[in-house]
Amino acid sequence: MPDLAEVVRRAAARAGLARIAAFPLEPPRRLDLYRRWLADGHHGEMGYLATPAHLAGRADLRTVLAEARTVVVAAMAHDPGVAVADDAARAAGDDADDDAGAGADGADARPRGAIARYARGDDYHAVLRDRLIEVADAVAAAVGRPVAARPCVDAAPLLERELAERGGLGFIGKNTLLIVPGLGSYVLLGELLLDVDLALAPDGGDAAPMRSRCGTCTACLDACPTGAFAAPFVLDARRCLSYLTIEHEGATPIALRAAAGPWVFGCDVCQEVCPYNAAAPARAIPPAPLRARDRDHAAPDLLAMVAAPSNQLRRFVRRTALRRITRAQLLRNVCVALGNLGDARAIAPLAARLADASPLVRRHAAWALGAIAARRPEAAAAAARAALPRRRPSWIPRSRPSAPPRSAPDAGQGVVAAASDRVST
């Protein structure tokens, strides 16, 4: 009988997996905490998480693969990138202080958004799934028979961070993410259920849980722009920017829009401040498909995005994790980011979005125009007068309240308010 642990270890190395472990199936240790999290409503609109099928999978992995006897857990590094949110905000600040809107860096000083690091390359679901299949194929070849296998990458109801911690890959931090010593938290997790008996630890010993090493540090809790942590190790998704920009399908809560900053897909703030990410000397080089495709897939040009037709937006998100959200959600997020960055050059394309077919887009375009006008009223007034649609879009009723009178000091706000009256909020 071949040494399956060594077979898996070598296959994982060839596949570019940074850490891997395996252990027999056992009852979960945090299922009660998960049920309590659901009962507290912290899952927001993700009602599917509380369905019987999802709860069953988390309670017993054999509901995911009936023949399963072993679970293999893997971590693959993704592009650690740079803190593009700070760069985007800095560029926007330069632009807001410059009447022409060109900024200190000239033509390239355009307002840029921020995309979470894991989503800047190819869709990680397919990338990691294919590598787990390579491991399963290696096991099948070693045992000389077909094996029942199920690769899981965010597509199966299981407690993946608990499984990764149980296998000794790392520990769960106060920001609820898995922190892998030597790699930090910039990793993607995947699981492989197999119908063979196998035990493997990352360090070559026995797979054993790793205790939290956060100590008294609260950097991630303190840095969260929306205060999304109800307590250490407890995330209220309803306030998390990753949830609000991806899972949430409706309007971004008004009280949280300013806190969203330049983020248009996900958020990395709680990871950017983590000491384990700042001091990860053994950080693995991510596979090429997971590296940022280009600058625009790390810090997108928001002026280009808000004005882009649907076919260009589809091309932008093709084969990336951004496919998870709809066109309306993406433009909603872009509008909020532009409102926060306050660049007057965004007024014309935002005003054009007041005629968008989606009420969600119109609503957030109007909010963004108001946010910009509050910062730059004179520039907003001039740009809004020139940019408002000359013809009434079909969705605007012919009978509507007249706009309130405008006074000179509030000219910018008045024009934007008139525009806002034309949209459904």
Residues with catalytic roles: 154
Distances (CA, A) of 207 to 9, 33, 183, 193, 198: 13, 23, 18, 16, 11
Bridge partners for 254 per DSSP: none
HSE value, Cβ hemisphere, 13 Å, CA-based, for 120: 31
Which ranges constitute the DSSP H helices of 167-284? 219-223, 241-242, 254-257, 269-272, 275-278
Cα separation, 240 vs 159, in Å, equals 19
- DSSP class of residue 219 equals H
State how far Cα 249 lies from the chain centre.
14
How many residues are there in the chain? 425
| Three-state secondary structure string covering 402-417 | CCCCCCHHHHHHHHHH
Residue at 78: amino acid letter: H
**What DSSP element (H or E) covers 193?**
strand 187-194
Contact residues for 417 (Cβ-Cβ < 8 A; gap 6+): 370, 403, 404
Scored b (16 or more CB within 10 A) or e, 292-323 reads beeebbbbbbbbebbbbeeeebeebbeebbbe
Pairing of strands 114-115, 263-265: parallel
Residue at 198: amino acid letter: L
**What DSSP element (H or E) covers 69?**
none
Cα separation, 94 vs 91, in Å, equals 5
414: its two tokens: 């008045």
| Three-state secondary structure string covering 260-311 | HCCEEECCCHHHHCCHHHHCCCCCCCCCHHHCCCCHHHCCCEHHHHHHCCHH
